[in-house]
Every structure is written in C-alpha cells, then in structure tokens.
Amino acid sequence: MRGLLVPVLTAAFVLGLAPTSASDDVGEVARAGQWQLGAMRLPEAWRSSKGEGVLVAVLDTGVNGDHPDLEGAVIQGPDLTGAARGPWGQHGTAMASLIAGRGHGASRGVVGVAPQAKVLSVRVTLENGDPRREQRRSGGRDALARGIRYAADHGADVISMSLGGGSGSWEGSASEEEAVQYAVGKGIVLVASSGNDGAAANKKNFPAAYPGVIAVGAVDQRLQVAGFSNRQDYLSVVAPGTEIVTADGGDSYVVGDGTSSAAAMVAGVAALIKSAHPGMSPAHVRMAIELGTRHRPSDGYSSSYGHGVANALLALRAAARMDVPTASALARPGPYVGGSRPMPVPAPASRTPVVAGLLLLMAGMSARVLIMYRRRGDST
C-alpha cells in the first residue's frame, strides 16, 4: 500500500511569549526574525513586482486563511486526503505565509516573498505526527497527482509542493509524473523541496525529482548548504531554510528548519516573475531563477548548491532580459524535460543586420519586378 506524502520540515518551535496570540510584540519579533528578506533582496525586488494577479497553489496540509498575516490571501480548495476534515494544517499555513504573507501593521507579522499573490489551498497530505497518517485510506491515493491537476484546472500560475515521498513513497508514480507534465503543458511553474535527509540516506525525492519541477535545497544564514538538505543532480537552486519564522496554524508563529521553507520562497520568486511577465513560459521562469542566483558554484553547477542561492531581485532582472520581444520571438519550448542545467538562451540579435537584410530584400524584389515589367513590355 502506498504511503502519504510527508511535509518536509525538520524541526520547529513556537515563537514568542504568547504562542496562542499574534500580539503586537510577537508580531514584531516575527518580522525582525525574517532574515531571508535581506538575503534575497526582497525590498528591492518589490519595487518591480509583489506578485499581484498571480495564484499560487499550495499543495500541503491545508492553509488557515484566518491567520492575521494571511487575511484575504487564501482561496480554499478541496481536501484530497480521504481523512475526516480537521483543523487546517500548521505546515500548509507556514508555507503559505512564506509565499504570500501580508504581515499586519507596518512592521508586524510574516511577509511572504510575493505579498500580493493569492494562495489556493489544496490539502493533499496530513501533518507529521497525525495518527491518521498511519491509516491506509484509499481516498488519499494519488492525492498529489489529483491536486496538481486540480490546481492546473483552477487557475494556478505556480504550484508549490513542500513535501516529499509521493504516492510511491520514495519512487514516485506515473500518475504524478503525468500530472506534472499536464501542468507544465498549461504554462504552470512547479516548485518542490529537495528533501531533508541529505545527512543520512540522501534519497531521491519526489515530486522534486520529476522532470519539469524546480527542486530546491536549503542554506543557512551564512548561505552555506544546510547539512540536512538533499544533494542530487536534479537540484535547481537553494534558498534560505534554517531558523525560518512562519505563521502557525492558529494565530501564532513558529521557527523551523527545512527545505520546505526554501521551496516555498522560490515558489514566491516564481510568482514575482509571473506577475511582472505573465506570458513567460515555465522553462523561461526556471531559467530566470537559475541565472539570477548568488554564490554560484565555480563550475556553474553542483549537486549541493544547484545553480546557486536564489535571489528575487536578480531573478527579476534576468527575467526582464528574457522577456518580450526577445523571449516571445524564440520558439516556444515544450515541457522542460532536461536536467537541472539551464537551457541556453539565445542572445538578443542586433537590429542593424536585420534592418539591412530587409532593405536588401526589398531592393532585390524591386529589381525583380522591374525586370519582369520590362520583359512583359518586350513581349507585347
């Protein structure tokens, strides 16, 4: 029997002296603890895009839309777990806050990477420690595959999956891979966490390992790869993933480690790009994220860092260089099925030889018409 997906968070603890209340003091502590805001140059990136008009599907344990930092940000989708409905999940709420948290007040609460994006909550797994996870429910089979398709059919621009294991535990499944390609074919960017057993078995992790998914590892505040972050040759980028402050399932906050947080942040970066460049394909969004990294490995790629540390400002700049008319003039790529190394982007052509070529073509056509006219005149 197949197992349920595992929310990928290594550890968490409740923040502040009032864990059941998003008080002003706790909210200020939460905002002050968001070290990723500076590391990813988010305040500068927000001058260009805050994710407005973008819908990010959070496939997770469910999202509590009543948290003060997520007020007005959450659209509730279906529960596909087959379990009796319970409180919406802590893990899903945490991830949603990192993507589209609005904070509250001028300097309180968690602000996400794309604070003007909307979140579509699709419940595809249960919390770690939930006793119902051990129960084998037929209704929960292929929940991730169904969740991906639901999100694709209900307007998602980005799909965030901070979980691992998949329907086939650690082997993936055909239904999930087909769902991924279905979503990519509809122009949707998919992001997933690389996994948290990098210091142990370092297993191949799904959905991160499916072709077409941006796999994300974690770094600490020194921008060094976290020991728990999985190292695989399909890794795309890394992002902040230690001591990350997030909204809790109630109205409090937690601090935790894990590639879950890193993936949610990169999903937020994808939302910023899609908001600024709505027509950009998933392959080009991925390229922009990979090209717009800091601390790139010396040879351009490694299984620990991928292409480097994700940076919102640099990714937006890379996307701007690739956007219309340059990007639209390129042949539209199909679903991205290659490895983690980016596909080459043709350099923008100079307009001078293009104009010269057109002038020569027009001159040649005019001469041909004149010759034909003269020939016709000779024959009459």
pLDDT number for residue 86: 63
What value does the mean pLDDT take over residues 221-250? 95
Read out DSSP for 332-364? PP-S--S-SSPPPPPPPPPHHHHHHHHHHHHHH
- 91 carries an active-site annotation: yes
Going from the C-alpha of 60 to that of each of 74, 231, 294, 356, the distances in angstroms are 13, 23, 29, 55
Domain parsing of the chain, residue ranges: 6-329, 349-380
If DSSP codes are grouped into helix, strand and coil, which group holds residue 71?
coil
233 contacts 338 by C-beta, under 8 angstroms: no
> Mean pLDDT across the chain, nearest whole number?
82
Under DSSP, the state recorded for 242 is S
Q: Which of 49, 121, 260, 302 is catalytic?
A: 260
Asked whether residue 140 carries a pLDDT value surpassing 80, the answer given is: no
pLDDT digits (tens, 9 = 90+) for 260-306: 999 999 999 999 999 999 999 999 999 999 999 999 999 999 999 99
24 contacts 253 by C-beta, under 8 angstroms: no
Angle formed at CA 143 by CA 141 and CA 145, multiple of 5 degrees: 110
| Packing angle, helices 312-322 and 282-291, rounded to 10 | 130
**Phi, psi dihedral angles at 250 (to 5 degrees):** -90, -115
Direct distance between the N- and C-terminal alpha carbons of the chain, in angstroms, rounded to an integer:
88
242 contacts 228 by C-beta, under 8 angstroms: no
The Cα diameter of the chain in Å comes to: 102
If DSSP codes are grouped into helix, strand and coil, which group holds residue 28?
helix
- 131 band by pLDDT with thresholds 50, 70 and 90: low
| E strand spans, the chain | 6-7, 11-14, 55-60, 74-79, 118-123, 158-161, 163-164, 189-193, 213-219, 235-240, 244-247, 253-257, 293-294, 309-310
- 130 carries an active-site annotation: no
pLDDT number for residue 241: 98
- 302 carries an active-site annotation: no
Q: What CA–CA distance (Å, rounded) separates 70 from 93?
A: 9
41 contacts 312 by C-beta, under 8 angstroms: yes
Going from the C-alpha of 116 to that of each of 17, 157, 195, the distances in angstroms are 29, 14, 28
SS (H, E, C) 142-200: CHHHHHHHHHHHCCCCEEEECEECCCCCCCCCHHHHHHHHHHHHCCCEEEEECCCCCCC
- 8 band by pLDDT with thresholds 50, 70 and 90: low
pLDDT number for residue 103: 92
294 contacts 314 by C-beta, under 8 angstroms: yes
What value does the mean pLDDT take over residues 160-172? 72
Asked whether residue 235 carries a pLDDT value surpassing 90, the answer given is: yes
Q: Which of 60, 142, 251, 257 is catalytic?
A: 60
pLDDT number for residue 251: 76
If DSSP codes are grouped into helix, strand and coil, which group holds residue 99?
helix
Going from the C-alpha of 157 to that of each of 31, 54, 267, 273, 301, the distances in angstroms are 27, 6, 10, 11, 27
103 contacts 116 by C-beta, under 8 angstroms: no
Q: What CA–CA distance (Å, rounded) separates 125 from 9?
A: 14
CATH number, domain 6-329: 3.40.50.200
Q: Which of 67, 69, 91, 157 is catalytic?
A: 91
Q: Which residues contact 11 (CB under 8 A, 6 or more apart)?
A: 256, 257, 258
If DSSP codes are grouped into helix, strand and coil, which group holds residue 372?
helix
- Which H/E stretch holds residue 90? helix 90-100
- 333 band by pLDDT with thresholds 50, 70 and 90: very low
